[in-house]
């Protein structure tokens, strides 16, 4: 049987992982379409017709033909359609959205870009790398304080804010930063990893196109 959702992405992509993780945690099987960025597939007319920004991830909802883009926006859609992780009240939904804007603003760039540099995909001069290290440290420290005395970023249960932020925090080690100085954040990471359905990128994103199991 064809799955309701098709995730278009690449296994190395943090934003693609966030969406795959949200679907996995929601218990929603999905078909997976490997987009070959090296070959420029994300700039092909067929792909641009799905995502005008020419980026992964993209999520197709085959029940209505919608193609969704921008990982945080996709998480809101998944929460809306599955009824999971969206937040219990309007206040929680607003707070979740605020966290998702915050993480892209303050943590995603320094972590993802430094990780890209470590893996040899990106090149930055030393001053830029130092700036990213300072930004990552400030944002991780902020997150650690925000998690003091609470289990989840918003309300009393995990939301797409946690999934979205986890989708960046997961790569902190690969970027060469350390979570050890942040006990609240480290405990939250353990809670995320204990959620039913949780998987690492390698569990969730295959290196090739694959139908839902």
Ligand X SMILES: N[C@@H](CCC(=O)N[C@@H](CS)C(=O)NCC(=O)O)C(=O)O
CB of 135 to ligand X, least distance (A): 17
Q: Binding ligand X by CB under 6 A: which of 5, 8, 13, 77?
A: 13
Backbone φ, ψ for residue 172 (5° rounding)? -60, -45
Does residue 42 touch ligand X according to CB under 6 A?
yes
Q: Which of 15, 155, 158, 201 binds ligand X (CB under 6 A)?
A: 15
Identified binder of ligand X from the candidate list 7, 50, 60, 71, rule CB under 6 A = 71
Stretch that binds ligand X, among 7-15, 123-131, 181-189, 204-212 (CB under 6 A): 7-15
Among 28, 44, 54, 198, binds ligand X (CB under 6 A): 54
CB 53 within 8 A of CB 69: yes
Which of 6, 55, 114, 159 lies at the binding interface for ligand X (CB under 6 A)?
55
What minimum distance in Å lies between the beta carbon of 125 and ligand X?
21
Q: Which of the ranges 11-19, 20-28, 84-92, 128-136 carries the binding residues for ligand X, by CB under 6 A? A: 11-19
Angstrom distance (rounded) from CA 159 to CA 79: 9
CA distance 9 to 11: 7
Distance of closest approach, residue 51 Cβ to ligand X, in angstroms? 9
Q: What is the DSSP letter of 43?
A: G
Name 151's Cβ contacts closer than 8 Å, sequence gap at least 6.
188, 191
In the complex, the smallest distance separating the C-beta of residue 35 from ligand X, rounded to whole angstroms, is 8
Question: Per-residue DSSP letters for 71-138?
Answer: HHHHHHHHHHHH--SS-SSHHHHHHHHHHHHHHIIIIIHHHHHHHHHHTTS----HHHHHHHHHHHHH
């Amino acid at each position: 049987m064809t799955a309701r959702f098709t995730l278009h992405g690449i296994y190395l992509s943090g934003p693609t992982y966030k969406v795959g993780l949200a679907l996995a945690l929601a218990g929603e099987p999905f078909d997976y379409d490997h987009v070959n960025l090296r070959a420029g597939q994300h700039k092909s007319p067929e792909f641009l017709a799905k995502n005008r920004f020419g980026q992964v991830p993209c999520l197709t909802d085959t029940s209505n033909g919608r193609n969704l883009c921008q990982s945080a926006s996709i998480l809101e859609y998944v929460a809306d359609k599955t009824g999971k992780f969206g937040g219990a009240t309007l206040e929680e939904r607003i707070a979740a959205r605020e966290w998702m804007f915050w993480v892209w603003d303050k943590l995603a760039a320094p972590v993802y870009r430094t990780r890209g540099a470590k893996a040899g995909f990106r090149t930055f001069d030393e001053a830029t790398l130092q700036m990213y290290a300072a930004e990552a440290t400030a944002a991780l420290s902020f997150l650690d304080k925000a998690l003091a005395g609470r289990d989840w970023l918003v309300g009393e249960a995990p939301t797409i804010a946690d999934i979205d932020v986890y989708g960046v925090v997961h790569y902190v080690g690969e970027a060469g930063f350390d979570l050890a100085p942040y006990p609240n954040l480290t405990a939250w990471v353990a809670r995320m990893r204990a959620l039913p359905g949780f998987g690492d990128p390698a569990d969730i994103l295959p290196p090739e196109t694959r139908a839902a199991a």
